[in-house]
Amino acid sequence: MHIHILGICGTFMGGLALLARELGHTVSGSDENVYPPMSTQLQEQGITLMQGYMAEHLKPEPDIVVIGNALSRGNLAVEAVLEQGLRYTSGAQWLLDYVLQDRWVLAVAGTHGKTSTASLLAWLLEDNKLSPGFLIGGIPGNFGVSARLGETPFFVVEADEYDTAFFDKRSKFVHYHPRTLILNNLEYDHADIFPDIEAIQTQFHHLLRTVPANGLVISHADDTYLEQTIKKGCWTPVEYFSGKQTKHWQAQPVSEDGLEFDVAFDSKKIATAKWSMLGEHNMQNALAAIAAARHVGVPAELSIESLSRFKGIKRRMEVRGVVNNITVYDDFAHHPTAIQLTLDGLRKHVGKKRIFAILEPRSNTMKMGVHKDTLAESLILADNVYLYQTENLGWDLAAEFKNNKNHVAQVFSSIQAIIDKVITEVKANDHIVIMSNGGFAGIHQKLLDALKDKFE
């Protein structure tokens, strides 16, 4: 079968392409934003990529067109699909129909930490001989790909609450029918499709309705919005996790930066974990993954030991390079909570060494200015802040940062201007965190090249 994917370079749709290819289908796809690591991953798998959305990309006529949720009516390719009467579906529905049927699905949902937790969970199963399938919105270092079919019934999926397609406005995750469900956290996000937090809670409750009574829900004990959602009705046993003394799963840091922490169940210590991931948030992600792995038969002691061999995820505090002892990180953080947690973990790790934060407010919610009142405070742990004011940003960064405590923030209208300024201020032992949920015009490598020109 020939499958053509519209929006193929998105992390989710790119993962679908890999699964379809592994199933033996011919796969092609179109996108207007092609950048690594997804484009590289697809090309390495022999998948044909086409730039832009054009009707001629649908010749010869594919057997089915999978349409990503970023595409809407008026798109030339979408209009061609409809006018020609081609068979089409959404990515989430295709995943259910062709991959998830008859699988034990372990889904990871929440506003933050989905990619990290799903990657952790897939690794805990893999390292303990369960060879799971997975579809993750990032590339785990232990696997090198974002998706695969696996060799057992177990399938780990990053369960996104964003809508499914222009013709299906339910959240993608209602299609997945999980038996094991992790609920990491719940905050207001995706303001382009959800009017308020209650609308997001409604979709999360739809997801809860799909989990069978012999399944398991694993939820963050300290999250009020999640608890409100569960109280609306839950027909499945619930296990809770937290850094506080609560029932079920607890994590307590041994080292302040979270590189070493104790894992307990019902206040009884199981073992001490030692690994390479920074911060309280990653400790919580690990707890949830350990609980989910135990549900499919992996003892917690073995999962804790497996954490030491976890290699992290691309674009999640990924070290892109070190020049003159200056470390440059690439991080996907784009919500104030995620930004604050990322910087908190790094600050506890590096102590008084300087942290430079470079941020592109790129998500739809950021562009709408929904988080502008909390963004400045989320960056307070950085010593120097550089903000990229894009043309399509609907609010003035400089005005919002003018009267806040984070007086070191500087606003720029070009990538090169940011690089030029950072180069004049950076010195040995500094840490530079670049944060965006897009390619950020390749600033990571451009900055590394500029550092090499100056210091080498």
What is residue 407's predicted lDDT score, i.e. its pLDDT?
A: 56
88-90, strands of its sheet edge to edge: 48-51, 26-31, 2-6, 64-67, 88-90
What is residue 367's predicted lDDT score, i.e. its pLDDT?
A: 65
What is residue 266's predicted lDDT score, i.e. its pLDDT?
A: 93
**Cross-strand partners of 358:** 386, 434
What are the pLDDT digits (tens) for 161-192?
999 999 999 999 999 999 999 999 999 887 78
In the structure, what pLDDT confidence band is assigned to residue 369 with cuts at 50, 70 and 90? Answer: low
What is residue 129's predicted lDDT score, i.e. its pLDDT?
A: 97
The pLDDT > 90 percentage for the chain reads 72
What are the pLDDT digits (tens) for 122-151?
999 999 999 999 999 888 999 988 899 999
What are the pLDDT digits (tens) for 221-271?
999 999 999 999 999 999 999 977 778 999 999 999 999 999 999 999 999
What is residue 234's predicted lDDT score, i.e. its pLDDT?
A: 97
What is residue 389's predicted lDDT score, i.e. its pLDDT?
A: 85
Strands 163-165 and 154-158 turn out to be: unpaired
Query: Is the predicted pLDDT of residue 311 greater than 80, yes or no?
Result: yes
In the structure, what pLDDT confidence band is assigned to residue 405 with cuts at 50, 70 and 90? Answer: low
The CATH homologous superfamily to which domain 2-91 belongs is NAD(P)-binding Rossmann-like Domain (3.40.50.720)
CATH topology of domain 318-455: Protein-Tyrosine Phosphatase; Chain A (3.90.190)
Mean pLDDT calculated for residue range 324-333: 92
- Higher-confidence residue of 318 and 294: namely 294
Query: Is the predicted pLDDT of residue 20 greater than 60, yes or no?
Result: yes
Query: Is the predicted pLDDT of residue 430 greater than 90, yes or no?
Result: yes
What is residue 375's predicted lDDT score, i.e. its pLDDT?
A: 85
CB 366 within 8 A of CB 332: no
In the structure, what pLDDT confidence band is assigned to residue 373 with cuts at 50, 70 and 90? Answer: confident
What are the pLDDT digits (tens) for 347-358?
999 999 999 999
Mean pLDDT calculated for residue range 49-66: 94
Mean pLDDT of the chain: 92
Structure tokens at 33: 């934003």
What's domain 102-309's architecture?
Answer: 3-Layer(aba) Sandwich (3.40)
What is residue 193's predicted lDDT score, i.e. its pLDDT?
A: 87
CA-nearest of 379, 374, 377 to 355 is: 379
What is residue 403's predicted lDDT score, i.e. its pLDDT?
A: 66
What is residue 368's predicted lDDT score, i.e. its pLDDT?
A: 67
What is residue 305's predicted lDDT score, i.e. its pLDDT?
A: 97
Where are the domains positioned within the chain?
2-91, 102-309, 318-455
What are the pLDDT digits (tens) for 66-86?
999 999 999 999 999 999 999
